[in-house]
A and B are shown apart, each in its own frame.
Chain A
């Protein structure tokens, strides 16, 4: 099981791969859309890559609740395994 810090850095790698954003920019309080400028198509790719990396299923209905990086890290942490 990955801890919060491991999930955050794994997610930052995925975001970097998809958007080219510096992984250091990907912080818990950042909003995917407002701060990181990630569109819905990129978000889909990030979600699917995160599912694969952390062995978690993130239903499409849940994606809209993941407004910040922290929301995603929290969801992954409590649903992985």
Chain B
């Protein structure tokens, strides 16, 4: 059997910048920020040191029924919205249920359900706990619900690798098709963790920006004034399809999902290995498995969360992986606009990378006023950068607490 190629034929998302991927991409090209104030009641009651987050632009109640909302954790709601939109965008491909797969990851899972139900147990007793509490809080709740909604029976997977979950899930979908387990896979990530508890936890780690007087300017990857990431939520999903299958039905093909590279740091539970040895191995593996040379990579959508340590570690890893060739890889840090969607981040940035390759445009990083001299990369700022004509490839990095490193390569078709 000749090698099965995997292409991207549909995109769907619900994000801080819009209820669709089209609105979200428009927001990215316009340089908009998704930051919004947190409910005043939270700030008073919990004295949270951070007063803003990138909450989703469109409440699920605008799209889902009342019963769907009652029976799904927000993380599953967002995933179902994105998955339906992605399938529609793909032209609702006709595929046997046994050849349709799902891979939707999350960093944190059904944390809203878990904590709401814990409150109910303490206040009203066990009989008032919702019978769907467990299937709503489990980390595979989004994958299970998407599979159910789409009638996808080739397999439903949830990779959990913190902020690399979304990217790794897309890699899982890619492998399902390559291995012949499925012809079409709905793959991506979701997160709905803007709840006071995870918020307080991230704050205690000193991971969040506290730029309360300027929420829109708080996520500033690579800038000397960066002081942490901005929490965000949402879901992003792509329809991956075996190339011949897509061609046979005359599908629009955005780009090719060319490869995935992965590694683990085994260095520290949260801190990145400062020289970027593990991250650079993932990037090199991705490029080599795609059968490309360094010069083919014309763009990087970076993980770049806007933390003082993480941004430098990634920049070091890019240099370590590509040396002088990194000069020809202009970098976008789209978290400057979306904030950090945790387990959905890698998925959303995967979609951005696909759109960059498809439209030949790499977005400018916002809030970058004073480039940190420790960042030796060609970071795109001010104006968007046109990507060259002809065959091009782009790299998308995602890293997660636990030392997970994931790099995806997307190529033009």
Q: Which residues of A are interface residues toward B (Cβ below 8 A)?
A: 17-20, 41-42, 44-45, 48, 51
Contacts and interface: CB of A to CB of B under 8 A. Distances in A.
A44 B67 contact: no
B131 interface: yes
A20 B128 contact: no
A20 to B, nearest CB: 4
Contacts, number: 18
Interface in B119-149: 127-128, 130-132
A14 to B, nearest CB: 12
Nearest to A60: B127
B131 A44 contact: yes
B127 A48 contact: yes
A17 B67 CA distance: 7
A20 B65 contact: yes
Contact of A18 (B65, B70, B128): B70
Nearest to B68: A20
Nearest to A51: B127
B249 interface: no
B131 A19 contact: no
A45 B66 CA distance: 15
Contact of B132 (A17, A20, A41, A51): A41
B132 A18 contact: no
B48 to A, nearest CB: 32
Interface in B93-134: 127-128, 130-132
A51 B130 CA distance: 14
Interface of B: 65-67, 70, 127-128, 130-132
Contacts of A51: 127
A48 B125 CA distance: 12
Nearest to B65: A20
B67 A41 contact: no
A48 B65 CA distance: 22
A45 B128 CA distance: 8
A45 B67 contact: no
A75 B157 CA distance: 44
Nearest to B67: A20
Contact of A20 (B66, B127, B130, B131): B66
Given A20-B67, A41-B132, A44-B131, 15 more contacts: A17-B66, A17-B70, A18-B67, A18-B70, A19-B67, A20-B65, A20-B66, A41-B131, A42-B131, A45-B130, A45-B131, A45-B132, A48-B127, A48-B128, A51-B127
A51 B65 CA distance: 25
Contacts of A42: 131
9 contacts: A17-B70, A18-B70, A19-B67, A20-B67, A42-B131, A44-B131, A45-B130, A48-B128, A51-B127
Contacts of B127: 48, 51
B137 to A, nearest CB: 14
B190 to A, nearest CB: 23
A21 to B, nearest CB: 9
Nearest to B132: A41
A19 B127 CA distance: 20
Nearest to B127: A48
A20 B70 CA distance: 10
Nearest to A19: B67
A72 B131 CA distance: 19
Contacts of B65: 20
Contacts of B130: 45
Closest 6 CB pairs of A and B: A20-B67, A41-B131, A44-B131, A45-B131, A41-B132, A20-B65
Nearest to A52: B128
Nearest to A42: B131
A17 B70 CA distance: 9
Nearest to A21: B67
A42 B127 CA distance: 14
Contacts of A20: 65-67
A19 B65 CA distance: 10
A70 to B, nearest CB: 23
A80 B407 CA distance: 62
B399 to A, nearest CB: 38
A18 B68 CA distance: 9
A63 B128 CA distance: 16
Residue among B65, B127, B132 with the highest chain A CB neighbour number at 10 A:
B127
Most buried by A among B67, B130, B131: B131
B160 to A, nearest CB: 25
A4 to B, nearest CB: 26
A52 B98 CA distance: 44
Contacts of B66: 17, 20
